[in-house]
Chain A
């Protein structure tokens, strides 16, 4: 049994410590800076008048449909009846991928477009930023051997779970701050009738991004528990996050089932967190929690046996 008080205390100490360290300040600053830059990237074409909102909506809808098709068809690729060389765009045009078209429409037409695009971009970039907040969670104390002073007073599991919780809370607060800034800015920029559905949709996006963040934070904590040197832990977490999709896509060319390596991390299903289908969302949330549990179990197993 883990003492909850210990876990909460470790979480609180980690948050305060993160704010005092250079890596923590860099994590907070980079997340906000890059997050708002991505939002700026999606808003600027309309704001500068390079394109009208309708044209932008049309092209964004196609681009998102294509991206969703590329991501979703990996899992069902073998079940498709169409010839293997049929390209996704022509299948979309022929109505073969009508569900994905509906999905893109749900994100772009039925909900605030600019917020949806921003959140989709964040979904790609956040996994690369989150290790910055978690790579020192355990490894920093192990490297400097200060963990020895903590362990007589607390258990290894409480320490691990507390630091994971602290990192997770910090990440969630940053995501909340980011979405809040974007929503406030869009509410100022857009006419009131266009912003009516903004707050509920922002709540849904916040939930999705929090679910997405959980397994990546757990992966960062796992790397931090496995490697004694913080920079190696950071390299491992970022390397695994970037390397997994690259490896899966390359190996798939050699043998199709190897493409399923993508599911080692949430890359393969994370987009389904924003699906209009409740069942798919539920499954994606369950997979996220499963991934997090797996990573934390491995981290606990490794940390309990570590020679500190």
Chain B
């Protein structure tokens, strides 16, 4: 069997893409669920335990709308899908699916976290500030790696197949 000449860093990036896709996917589900809970609280439907309702009410009072959360969830969903699809592209060193979908996934991931900081109230974000900073680091790192360190690998692989 011939040894693969794919750089180990690309394999590591594909693993990290999977890890972050799962992380942002989980947060996306949570955003969707919270948005539906917020809608129910806004419509006056009594549901769940008291503290949860009070918490959701406080979010509404701070100006958070279900629509904000749904937009964030959609961006998160796009980021999850792009990152997941790009795993295959990174492993195959595909310029379009690996490099460019990975880049779009990175941009969507960064947008998801930056808009979270911009839109979500402090009550929602408290204690998560540096985790968000940590998560913003990855998209920047991914884009840097895809366009500076591994650029030539993708173009060479494209030249061979094309």
Indicate with 1 or 0, residue by residue over A22-48, a CB within 8 angstroms of chain B CB atoms: 111110110011001101100110011
- Quick check: A48 and B149 within 8 Å, CB to CB? no
- Quick check: A26 and B129 within 8 Å, CB to CB? no
- What chain A residues lie within 8 Å of B145 (beta carbons)? 19, 25
A101-115 interface with B by 8 A CB criterion: none
Q: In the complex, A47→B150 CA distance in Å?
A: 39
- Quick check: A20 and B129 within 8 Å, CB to CB? no
Q: In the complex, A40→B13 CA distance in Å?
A: 24
Indicate with 1 or 0, residue by residue over A2-20, a CB within 8 angstroms of chain B CB atoms: 0000000000000010011
- Quick check: B12 and A40 within 8 Å, CB to CB? no
- Quick check: B137 and A36 within 8 Å, CB to CB? yes
- Residue in A29, A40, A185 whose beta carbon sits within 8 Å of that of B16 in the complex: A29
- Quick check: A20 and B8 within 8 Å, CB to CB? yes
Q: Does A21 contact B (CB under 8 A)?
A: yes
Check A185/B133 contact, CB under 8 A, given A20-B7, A28-B141: yes
- Quick check: A26 and B137 within 8 Å, CB to CB? no
Q: In the complex, A35→B150 CA distance in Å?
A: 26
Q: Does B131 contact A (CB under 8 A)?
A: yes
- Quick check: A25 and B12 within 8 Å, CB to CB? yes
Q: In the complex, A188→B150 CA distance in Å?
A: 34
- Quick check: A23 and B149 within 8 Å, CB to CB? no
Q: In the complex, A47→B133 CA distance in Å?
A: 15
- Quick check: B134 and A40 within 8 Å, CB to CB? yes
- Quick check: B131 and A21 within 8 Å, CB to CB? no
Closest to A44 in B: B127
- Quick check: B9 and A40 within 8 Å, CB to CB? no
Q: Does B1 contact A (CB under 8 A)?
A: no
Q: In the complex, A203→B150 CA distance in Å?
A: 33
- Quick check: A47 and B129 within 8 Å, CB to CB? yes
The majority secondary structure among interface residues of chain A is helix
Q: In the complex, A19→B137 CA distance in Å?
A: 16
Q: Does B126 contact A (CB under 8 A)?
A: yes
- What chain A residues lie within 8 Å of B141 (beta carbons)? 28-29, 32
Q: In the complex, A270→B145 CA distance in Å?
A: 34
Check A21/B134 contact, CB under 8 A, given A26-B12, A47-B127: no
Check A22/B126 contact, CB under 8 A, given A29-B141, A36-B133, A181-B137: no
Closest chain A CB from B16 CB (angstroms):
6
Closest chain A CB from B50 CB (angstroms):
20
- What chain A residues lie within 8 Å of B7 (beta carbons)? 20-21
- Quick check: A189 and B129 within 8 Å, CB to CB? yes
Closest chain A CB from B91 CB (angstroms):
13
- Residue in A16, A22, A181 whose beta carbon sits within 8 Å of that of B133 in the complex: A181
- What chain B residues lie within 8 Å of A23 (beta carbons)? 8
- What chain B residues lie within 8 Å of A49 (beta carbons)? 126
Q: Does B130 contact A (CB under 8 A)?
A: yes
| Chain A positions near chain B (C-beta within 8 angstroms) | 16, 19-26, 28-29, 32-33, 36-37, 39-40, 43-44, 47-49, 181-182, 184-185, 188-189
